[in-house]
Amino acid sequence: MKKLWMMLMLAASCCLPAQAALSPGDAAPEFKTRAALDGKAFDYSLREALQKGPVVVYFYPSAYTNGCNVQAHTFAESLGDFAAAGTSVVGVSLDDIGRLESFSADPQYCAGKLPVASDGNGDIARAYGLEVREAAPGKKDTRGADILHGRAERTSFLIDTDGKIVATIGGLSPVDNVAKALEQARALATTKKPKKK
């Protein structure tokens, strides 16, 4: 009986994910890294961004790939709506800063509006409980260039000014991910409005 129990436990553990994304209520890991906006590199600090309001940190697999291009474009086009909800947005991927400088300025994608940050070794993504896959040999981006870096899973986190995660958004298409993040940002803004007497 004990042997059967051990076999069942082992089988069940094989079916569980190796890690799970951080959940609402969890503390968002602080990070500082190089980022790019409109082709220019700068130092990004989550702590500093949170001093100005809530932040959507969205992880995506790679710049210049189909879904990520669509997601970056959709976030860039929606930044006014996020700002109206008092929320800023930053993309994070395992791309190096050179690729992100180009991606951040590309008028079809980030359009000089959306900051994107480099997580070259995947440590930031792992700190958020995300799966990071190794680089796949022979993979090319939409420009025909080799993708030489690993990839984090597509997941967004809405983080409040107290550093706590308000929403974890994963398992959606790139466009739906943005729409859900905006919905959550608006809901958070509503809860922060002073109540009328």
User: What is the torsion angle, in degrees rounded to the nearest 10, for the CA atoms of residue 6, residue 8, residue 10 and residue 16?
Assistant: -150
pLDDT band (50, 70, 90) for residue 140: confident
Query: Is the pLDDT score of 186 beyond 90?
Result: yes
Domains and CATH numbers, the chain: 18-192 (3.40.30.10)
User: Whole-angstrom Cα distance, residue 109 to residue 103?
Assistant: 7
Query: Is the pLDDT score of 176 beyond 70?
Result: yes
pLDDT at site 148: 85
For the segment 182-188, the average pLDDT, to the nearest whole number, is 98
User: Whole-angstrom Cα distance, residue 91 to residue 75?
Assistant: 9
119-136: per-residue pLDDT in tens? 999 999 999 999 999 988
Can you list the pairs that 130-135 forms with residues at least 24 positions away whose Cβ atoms lie under 8 Å? 130/19, 130/21, 130/59, 130/155, 131/17, 131/18, 131/19, 132/94
68 is a catalytic site residue: yes
User: Whole-angstrom Cα distance, residue 90 to residue 117?
Assistant: 7
pLDDT at site 195: 52
pLDDT band (50, 70, 90) for residue 167: very high
What is the distance between the terminal CA atoms of the chain, rounded to a whole angstrom? 65
Query: Who's near 110: CB < 8 A, 6+ residues apart?
Result: 37, 38, 72, 73, 76, 91, 103, 104, 116
Q: Which two tokens stand for residue 2?
A: 């004990």
Catalytic residue among 14, 15, 68, 110: 68
pTM: 0.86
For the segment 152-160, the average pLDDT, to the nearest whole number, is 97
Whether residue 43 contacts residue 37, with contact meaning beta carbons closer than 8 Å, is answered with no
Q: What share of the chain is helix, strand, coil (3-state, %, to 5)?
A: 35, 25, 40
7-49: per-residue pLDDT in tens? 333 333 333 333 589 999 999 999 999 999 999 999 999 999 9
49-95: per-residue pLDDT in tens? 999 999 999 999 999 999 999 999 999 999 999 999 999 999 999 99
Whether residue 136 contacts residue 147, with contact meaning beta carbons closer than 8 Å, is answered with yes
